[in-house]
Chains A and B, each alone.
Chain A
Amino acid sequence: MIEDIVGKIGQEALRLIIGLVGVVAFVVVNALLLTWMERKVAGHMQRRIGPKEVGPFGLLQPIADALKLLGKEILTPKKVEKPLYYLAPTLIFIPALTSFVVIPFDAYLQVQDINVGILVILALSSLTVLSILVAGWGSENKYSLIGAIRSVAQNVAYEIPLLLSLLPVVMLTNSLSLKDIVEAQGKIWFVVLQPVAFFIYFIAAVAETNRTPFDLPEAESELVAGYHTEYSGMRFALFFLAEYTNIFIVSAIATTFFLGGYRGPLLPGILWFFIKSYLLVFVIMWFRWTYPRVRFDQLLNFSWKMLIPLTFVNLIITGGLLKL
């Protein structure tokens, strides 16, 4: 009996460790891939070809970049709030990393299927804004501070439509487990049943990841670099890494909730999952290289006056239809 329990705990622990190692490896590879992809996408949209010198199709360019960043001197500006300044780049990575635990890459490929999976992800993604605030506050720089303040206001505003747009799906499946949600989309993807929710989720997700047209916390032309103005070298790279990881996470959630997750004909599930996720990532990149940036008050108005009422209406209609 006791041996059984110990064995089970051991098994679970082993599974978690292997999973986490896998996740860390994936996060790094994913970030490298997305950096390359971003530069290629940008290049082709701007009538150039992007990186092509290092490796085939310039695929090794991100590695060269990473080596460059690693080799840089780690500068600490004199007047920064040292503990906070050091903490922020590490802190921003924790939610990005742990969110992967519950994402089902395939029917059998999930580190841990938690029955409140979506709550875990939403709770963790709210933590990102904390580290941005810490970074902006600790930098003792006015531009960083403005960036951090913008980030907090923006995340509070967009967390709500993000959450509310996922609720109808939960209502449809009666489950908070991501795996159940994917399994429920056997016949029809939820994007067909819930198109409004999908669009709202996607807009809110772009805002949550601070990407153009909602990239106000790091608005280059206004705030120089926003909350990470004072960071350089590897510390800056960590922010960068976290941003790309977050882009992947929001795309993965959209895939899981609305696009049938790993489900798809012919190809193995994991491939379907990645195809769908990276397609969404591509759309997010497409936005960035097409649109100008919105203004801060327009951004907040859009959320509070448009998205949130719309999600409520959508929620009520879904609830009503389910009752019928």
Chain B
Amino acid sequence: MKENLSLSVATVCYHCGDDLPTAPYVADDKHFCCLGCKGVYQILSSHNLSSYYVFNTVPGASQKKAPQHFDYLDEPAITADLIDYADDKTTVITLFVPSVHCSSCIWLLEHLHKINPDISQSRIDFPKKQVSITFRNQLISLRQVVELLTAVGYEPLISLQDVVKKQQSDHSERNLVSKIAVAGFCVGNVMMLSFPEYFGFSDFEEHYRDFFNWINLALSIPVLLYSSRDYFISAWINLKNGILNLDFPLALGIAVMFVRSAAEIITKTGSGFIDTLCSLVFFLLIGKWMQQRTYRYLSFERDYRSYFPVAVTVIKDGKDQPVPLNELKTGDRILIRSNEIIPADAILLKGEAKLDFSFVTGESIAVDKVLGEMVYAGGRQICGAIELEVVKPVSQSYLTKLWNNETFEGHKNPIKTFSDTASKYFSIILLFIAITAGVFWVSSDLNKAVAAFTAVLIIACPCALALSSPFTLAAVLSIFDKNKFYLKNTAVIEELARINTIVFDKTGTITNPSSNGFQFTGSLTELEKQLVSDLARNSGHPLSRELVKWLDKTPLYPVDRYREQVGRGISGKVNGHELKLGSAAFLGITAQEKGSVVHIMVDSMYCGYFLSEQRWRPGFKQLALTLARKQDLHLLSGDLDHERNLLAPFFKGSQQLHFKQSPQNKLDYIRHLQNNGSKVMMFGDGLNDAGALRKSDLGIAVTDNINNFSPGCDAILDGAAFEKIPQFISLAKDAVKVIHMSFVISVSYNAVGLFFAVQGLLSPLMAAILMPVSTATIILFTSITARLYAHKNKLL
């Protein structure tokens, strides 16, 4: 019977694929889970855009969220920062649309002009989830454009920080690619012209030699002045600060190569090392590009500004008026609508406040506030509009003043990498050998002295060395990426290998925010459980949804006379039984409340209650045991300590468990650990961990949806990969080993070259062969061993 039912009727929403409620919304024989999804379908079908549903099944995002208000987009002062370009006819704006996820999204968002012809063009950048829209500003306002996007289910996320960031990012990469292109062009042509030299000219071809050499010299000038410019600048800056980094021997090698080649060509004594010079720069730049390449368009630099809205509605003289956030003053009366975020500490003046602080703490169960109570910034209002009076400006609020802390000023200390350390000694030894070789020959043969001195600097130019780190780390980065562990840059891998102390936040980090367990006290038959599930399915309250998921029943009975009192409980008639679910007060019984409880009443008979308890992320127990063998584990939680006993077995001693920690406490605790010489890795998820994430040597944000906002950090870990943390650490350690091994390989190549160079016997041909061969060896070795180690750690 049940089978037949589910076969004949669609069970998921045609638009978003969510489970259908017992009374779905219907349009054109299609079933929808909510009015929002149905609305999107109707807009699309009325504009002949139904192909949206053809390219992919259930392409839409759930529309169950409450609508946002965009009246602030009518204020030119606020939107000026958002707009890319505007004249008196057209406006171009780039918006971040988090719900972009499939080809249907691309298709629909690039056909917006069919819905409203005043939008002249819309282009999607899929990896960045950005849509760039050009519209006629005389005929359609920015607000209408954004509302149109929202109406078709692609609500853009507008926040101040991401807007600011967007402008700068691309150009450094484009610049590097241009440099690679120039170097590639030159190296190709130089190689072509150098080949005759390698094979030797016959007598009657001799007169070409000079011609080829001169062209080579000409081609090397753009490589020297443009492509390799950064190496000279970096070497010079570091030298001024008394640091010998790897760029110094590189810049020195390039310069010496050019000078000696130019001298040989001008004096017609040889052909120089132009080929080696060009290919060296070319390979180096490719290594740099590998290192800079980011695999994901994630933002690691977020602070509270990306969570907070761009503007907030202020009530002034009885009128609503959108005001930019930074102009919000103490004493302003603000209106927060449903689903909006409270941007500053304020006192509740009017309305029923039910706030979701999951951005801040990771805790998803909403908190009630009464009139006159202080409300901290960062909470999201869930039901109805409320009015508040601002008591502190945005930047001085309890949460946001964390960013005034000195930890957030200036840059985090750069991570010390192996190649930085190695290059210091490398440079000194290199200079020493070069000078010794020069001095040794100077008494007998001045020409040979110069030749030996320059040859040492040329052959020892640490190309392979400079490439070993980027190629190893880039390979590991992409392996991490495949395992849903997204790093900010490659240096993070080396830091990960050094970690000896791990600090966890509790809620949302080691607990799983989306899967609560329930403990039932009382008695309930299977049939009654079915009834509870069918009733709870109609509610959007997080606890109801968890309960439905936990009971795991297929929908069976329709519900009559469904009623919901927001935040208190639901009631209805299911299969002839009168059901009530909710708080004790809602059911009219007296029971002591402890934690999140759902009481059940069937036909006025009290049956018992479900107690919600948080579950650890899958594998947490095993993870804690594995990690504790090598690292020191700590816990910092903002919650009360009622779970202390549950957690104590995972940690060494109870003094490593800390509860009731404010954001500032967390930051201070990390600092305390660091002062004791620990290398600290912090796992956190909410804004309240932002200080600790920033302060720690390695801050990792744990999130279940990487497109959600996560606080500023060094790496973002998808919750699904949480249990792989020990493997990640182990692979990071292996990566450092690979770097060490490739260092040894490149040094042995250098030693072979140096053997000839110190004797003044280095021929250009030998340099031209040795350089690419050593480079190729390193690239192959690092990529292959990195993958082998990934297999060993079961990450591939």
Are A and B co-members of a single complex? no
Q: Tell me the B residues contacting A by CB distance below 8 Å.
A: none
Q: Tell me the A residues contacting B by CB distance below 8 Å.
A: none
